[in-house]
A and B are shown apart, each in its own frame.
Chain A
């Protein structure tokens, strides 16, 4: 479903060039539940941004659903994000003016769906995360855990192939964090590839594949622990 090969990313800081990722490779298949750990500044976020098509690698190839994406233009990349990728952030990033159902349905607005369709699918997504009864609430009327569930509904409303989560439980208490992880577990069981960046071992331990970034390269358990088979 997703294959990174030899990804390099370097930034120029004045006269110095910093190599954050140094020839990293990664495959994620449908139904994967992958955690990526590592110390701050190791390039976790950079990797996640590249995976999420928010950033481009300096070198290397990235194919998503069989499509080479590195050379695509901004519009095509935006459309790919909309079609195949769902984001979950540590601080939720819900729009405060909108209700839960409006927040959850936001990605579909950019797909040109009708109002009725957006509402129907957003409600279904909220139902999937156990928030159907809070559809009319605004973020400030919801607890942190509830807000993250709405954000999860927004990530999955477009039926993505891949959900990328950046410290999704970082702002939540352990109990709520576990509930959110249950949802990620269920989503990967439904065939969505889930990649979670975290520094909490307890979260990583719930993932079927545990990877670690060190010196700009990925290390971790062997690929054969995966549930599905890699695409040809």
Chain B
């Protein structure tokens, strides 16, 4: 939600607080004079309800927020999956050392020999990663800082681009050089440093000289955000005590990824028995991501439906109170010729408009939640138009559904009794 949108929302609500006689022509066009009158009545009556309606709307807002967050997250994951496919390709295997067995490590030579030993593997890039603060002149320059120890091939296999300088070379063996992620470079420049290349960044207690800056990255490499990372030669990382704990492999054209997983495992069993490895294909990786998203979906569906029910009952209660306070009004309207369905329409409109306000609050809230989740999961965020449309639709539907009983109650009041109240 951009600042401009928030400003527009503020202006709108201020306009509502004044007498809403502005630009209602379209309402007449949509539903005739009566519909326009109903909407104007609804706004006036909701203003009169004040705090009471706000309380009822909290439930609706939370419910809609959950729906929005759910759909947005789903959309974002779908987009992210496609992006990962495009970025990494489907012909990639990843390998991860299980952390249970500290004693066994992947020997660099074994990793290097993999393409020669397993025909379905075309290229391999072993690497290691460690999270921690990345600092420049005492300032933190990465939100979720990490250090990757990588080889020259890493860039090609992860399809990373170099914006400035160069990537890590196999000739940098043991050197304290580094290539920094896009965001790290931005943060370094934020204090006025013109040129990131040549600067020194600190990870843990070591200083590294920047030799290159990556272009805006693919987002994350096995859930570590490459934009926030410092990439150093794998050999340097090993000298600092890190072991190879991951590798990315590209399959030869036409190779079956599932068969290749077995072959890679068999190779390491042979060269390094006892080593516990986890090998997954890109498809499996994406499947994992989908499952993660499904978990969010399930959670939000539960929270959303409970909140919408609670909120809806709250709205029903508010509407019943509002109708009880306006019995004579109902009686009068009936006396001057309103049909039952006119009364019904009036209160259904009121309830729907009430819920729509909750829905709008929910859309804002849900969008913020989706943004937070994307930040947490390292997905790139966008506002889903489908989600916003759904929020408007669902909140209106909740209003109509839970407004039905109170509206029918009002429509069935005996005008004589109502006028005596």
The distance in angstroms between the C-alpha atoms of A34 and B36, with both chains bound, is 39
B337 lies within 8 A of chain A by Cβ:
yes
Q: Among A21-29, A104-112, A168-176, which stretch is in contact with chain B?
A: A104-112
Known: A95-B329, A118-B33. A54 touches B416 (CB 8 A): yes
List, in ascending order, chain B residues with CB within 8 A of A224's CB: none
A148 to B415, CA, bound (A): 20
Given contacts A115-B33, A115-B36, contact A55 B338 (CB under 8 A): no
Q: Is A12 an interface residue when CB atoms closer than 8 A count as contact?
A: no
Given the known A-B contacts A78-B338, A78-B339, A95-B329, are A109 and B33 also in contact in the complex, defined by CB atoms under 8 Å? Answer: yes
With a CB–CB cut-off of 8 A, which chain A residues contact B419? 89, 93
A114 to B34 Cα, complex, angstroms:
9
Give Cα A95 to B346, complex, Å: 15
Scan B48-77; emit 1 where CB is below 8 A from any A CB, else 0: 100000000000000000000000000000
Q: State whether B337 touches A110 (Cβ < 8 A).
A: yes
| Cα A154 to Cα B333 with chains together (Å) | 11
For this complex, into which size category does the number of interface residues on chain B fall? 20 to 34
Q: Within 8 Å of chain A (Cβ to Cβ): is B5?
A: no
Q: A89: shortest Cβ distance to chain B, in Å?
A: 7
The answer to the question of A42 belonging to the interface, with a C-beta cut-off of 8 Å to chain B, is: no
Contacting B at CB under 8 A, from A66-125, are 74-75, 78-79, 81-83, 86-87, 89, 93, 95, 97, 106-107, 109-115, 118
A81 nearest in chain B by CB position:
B337
B334 to A78, Cβ gap below 8 A? Answer: yes
* B329 contact set on A, CB distance < 8 A: 93, 95
Docked complex Cα distance between A115 and B39 (Å): 14
Q: Are B335 and A52 in contact (CB under 8 A)?
A: yes
Name the residue on B nearest A76 (C-beta): B339
Nearest chain B CB to A218 CB, angstrom units: 20
Residues of chain B within 8 A of A52, CB atoms compared: 335
Is A146 interfacial (CB-CB < 8 Å)? Answer: no
Q: A52-B335, A78-B338, A110-B339 given as contacts; is B36 within 8 A of A97 (CB)?
A: no
- A111 in contact with B339 given A49-B416, A95-B329 (CB within 8 Å): no
Across the interface, B44 reaches (CB within 8 A) one of A86, A97, A113, namely: A97
Residues of B within 8 A of A154 (CB): 336
Distance of A173 Cα from B335 Cα, bound (Å): 26
Per the bound structure, the CA–CA distance linking A78 and B338 in Å amounts to: 6
Taken together as a complex, chains A and B put the C-alpha atoms of A81 and B36 apart, in Å, by 23
Contact A83 B339 (CB under 8 A): no
In the bound complex, CA of A112 to CA of B342 (Å): 11
Which of chain B's residues 321-369 have a Cβ closer than 8 Å to chain A?
328-329, 331-342
A21 to chain B, nearest CB (A): 15
Known: A89-B419, A109-B37, A114-B33. A54 touches B332 (CB 8 A): no
The distance from the CB of A139 to the nearest CB of chain B, in whole angstroms, is: 12
* B337 engages A78 (CB within 8 Å): yes
Partner of A110 from the list B34, B48, B328, B415 (CB cut-off 8 Å) is B34
Q: B48–A97 contact, CB under 8 A?
A: yes
CB interface residues, B 229-246, toward A, < 8 Å: none
CB < 8 Å: which of B37, B48, B335 contacts A87? B335
Q: How far is the CA of A7 from the CA of B10 in the complex (A)?
A: 60
A112 contacts B338, C-beta separation under 8 Å: no
Min Cβ gap B329→A in Å is: 6
Taken together as a complex, chains A and B put the C-alpha atoms of A110 and B345 apart, in Å, by: 12
Give Cα A110–Cα B33 distance, bound, in whole angstroms: 9
Determine if B45 and A106 form an interchain contact, defined as CB atoms under 8 angstroms apart.
Answer: no
Contact between B48 and A74, CB atoms less than 8 A apart: no
CB pair A107–B337 under 8 Å, yes or no, is yes
Encode A181-211 as 1/0 by CB contact (under 8 A) with B: 0000000000000000000000000000000
**B335 & A54 in contact (Cβ 8 Å cutoff):** yes
- A112–B37 CA distance with the chains assembled, in angstroms: 11
Measured between alpha carbons, how far is A81 from B337 in the docked complex, in Å? 5
Flag if A95 contacts B335 (CB, 8 Å).
Answer: no
Whether B8 is near chain A, meaning CB under 8 Å from some CB there, is no
List chain B residues, Cβ under 8 A from A110: 34, 333, 336-339, 342
Say whether A81 contacts B335, CB under 8 Å.
Answer: yes
Would A79 and B339 count as touching, CB distance under 8 A? yes
Q: What are 15 A-B interface contacts by the 8 Å CB criterion?
A: A52-B335, A74-B339, A75-B339, A78-B339, A79-B337, A81-B337, A82-B337, A87-B336, A93-B329, A95-B329, A109-B34, A109-B37, A110-B333, A112-B33, A114-B28
